[in-house]
């Protein structure tokens, strides 16, 4: 009798889960962004959220939870109810944190159901006009000599900006000093204010200031030039083998019903083809990706391994 009751209970739960997935979403969903408003991650999240509205028939709300290199947001989502209404705007920072933090209170693989990669991108090295350099070769000479001192700002330990800067510093034998902020936008403000001398910034954050002449673009982190900055060469032209990449995606708490994960994955695939989203990605020098949840999971596993080396080079470790 007990076994019959237990089986019946399981069947009821399965039926409830199937019904919930079938009608999902019945209320707004929340996209938790791990960085401050105005930065690259936030701007893209807001464009995607707006694109989801007509596809899902519900509002997607952006909730900024900056701090601790994305860990505040990631831990919040990892512990959220897996009902399909709370998601992490995930990225390379979370993959790096797996190696960076000794006592991480979540596991980026175990505690998440990864829905879809949304984009891949590279950074641009930008410097203050007050720094006496006009090209990458001159910048390398300055950071190697340490005169004048060069502080580079980032969105936090383990962020894509940090690892890009640390890898560059290592490969050229430089003396740059790492300064952390609570997001890309505050770091950009610090550069504009002259508090720091350089940033390895997402193009979307730096482009308006490059075009206005407020900062100078010296080189790109990827292996090819960008149509947005056709006159700016890749760092690898002078530093062979240098390459940094960033990416974004959407991840749910583990145990979110697979049917809901798949429905959101399909919705995101449609969003990435919307004209407004494609325009935003092009203007931000981000390449739309998409793909299945299984493909995204395998991508993250590989990226965790790739970033182990960069974290080691950065020398960063957090308890």
Residue 113 shares a structural domain with residue 259: yes
Determine the Cα–Cα distance for residues 272 and 156; give it in Å rounded to an integer.
28
For position 17, what pLDDT does the model report?
52
The answer to whether residues 231 and 292 belong to one domain is: no
What pLDDT score does 15 carry?
Answer: 44
25 or 11, greater pLDDT: 25
Average pLDDT, the chain: 91
Say if residue 274 is in the same domain as residue 166: no
In a domain, 100, yes or no: yes
Do 133 and 103 lie in one domain? The reply is: no
- Tens of pLDDT, residues 171-194: 999 999 999 988 888 999 999 999
140 and 79, same domain (yes or no): no
pLDDT of residue 156 exceeding 70, the answer is yes
CATH number, position 25:
3.40.190.150
Q: What confidence score (pLDDT) does residue 61 get?
A: 98
Q: Which range is least confidently modeled, 7-21, 110-124, 131-145, 241-255?
A: 7-21
With respect to residue 277, please indicate whether it lies within any of the assigned structural domains.
yes
* pLDDT (0 to 100) of residue 77: 98
Beta strands in 164-306 (DSSP E): 177-180, 198-202, 216-220, 246-253, 286-290
Please tell me whether residues 109 and 147 are part of one structural domain. Answer: no
Instruction: Measure the CA–CA gap between 5 and 135, rounded to whole angstroms.
Output: 74
Q: Are 6 and 64 a contacting pair, CB within 8 Å?
A: no
Which residue segment(s) compose the domain that 34 sits in?
2-121+245-314
Sheet holding 246-253, edge to edge: 60-64, 29-33, 86-91, 246-253, 112-121, 286-290
Q: Is residue 319 part of a domain?
A: no
74 and 165 both lie in a single domain:
no
Question: Cα(2)–Cα(181) distance, rounded to whole angstroms?
Answer: 57
Question: Which pLDDT tens digit goes with each residue over 45-91?
Answer: 999 999 999 999 999 999 999 988 899 999 999 999 999 999 999 99
- Other beta carbons within 10 angstroms of residue 260's beta carbon come to 23
pLDDT at 310: 86
Asked if the model's pLDDT at residue 40 lies above 70, the reply is yes
Choice among 6-10, 32-36, 217-221, 306-310 with the minimum mean pLDDT: 6-10
Same domain as 155, residue 22: no
Residue 190: CATH number of its domain = 3.40.190.10
Of the three residues 171, 203, 237, the one that is the final residue of a domain is 237
Residues 36 and 102 in one domain: yes
pLDDT at 10: 46
- Among the candidates 237, 271, 305, a domain finishes at 237
pLDDT at 12: 45
Sign of the Cα torsion 234, 231, 175, 189 reads: negative
Number of domains in the chain: 2
pLDDT at 14 over 50: no
Domain final residue, candidates 194, 219, 237: 237
pLDDT tens across 226-281, in order?
989 999 999 999 999 998 888 999 999 999 999 999 999 999 999 999 999 999 99
């Amino acid at each position: 009798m007990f076994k019959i009751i237990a089986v019946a209970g399981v069947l009821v739960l399965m039926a409830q889960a199937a019904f919930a997935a079938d009608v999902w979403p019945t209320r707004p969903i929340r996209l938790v962004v791990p960085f401050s408003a105005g930065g690259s991650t936030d701007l893209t999240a807001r464009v995607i959220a707006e694109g989801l509205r007509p596809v899902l028939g519900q509002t997607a709300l952006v909730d900024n939870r900056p701090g601790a290199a994305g860990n505040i947001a990631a831990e919040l989502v990892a512990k959220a109810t897996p009902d399909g209404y709370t998601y992490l705007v995930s990225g390379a920072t979370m993959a790096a944190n797996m190696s960076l933090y000794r006592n991480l209170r979540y596991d980026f693989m175990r505690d998440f159901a990864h829905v879809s990669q949304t984009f891949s991108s590279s950074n641009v090295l930008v410097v203050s006009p007050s720094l006496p350099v006009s090209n990458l070769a001159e910048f390398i000479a300055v950071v190697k000599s340490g005169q004048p001192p060069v502080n580079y700002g980032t969105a936090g330990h383990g962020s894509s900006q940090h690892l890009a800067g640390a890898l560059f510093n290592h490969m050229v034998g430089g003396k740059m000093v790492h300064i952390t902020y609570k997001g890309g936008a505050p770091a950009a403000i610090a550069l504009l204010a002259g508090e720091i001398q350089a940033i390895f910034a997402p193009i979307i954050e730096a482009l308006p200031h490059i075009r206005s002449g407020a900062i100078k673009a010296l080189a790109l982190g990827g292996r090819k030039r960008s149509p947005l900055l056709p006159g700016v060469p890749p760092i690898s032209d002078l530093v062979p083998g240098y390459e940094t990449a960033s990416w974004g995606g959407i991840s749910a708490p583990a145990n979110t019903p697979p049917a809901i994960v798949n429905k959101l994955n399909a919705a995101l695939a449609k969003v990435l083809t919307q004209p407004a989203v494609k325009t935003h990605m092009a203007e931000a020098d981000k390449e739309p990706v998409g793909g299945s949840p299984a493909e995204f999971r395998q991508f993250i596993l590989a990226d965790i391994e790739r970033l182990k080396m960069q974290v080691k080079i950065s020398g960063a470790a957090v308890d």
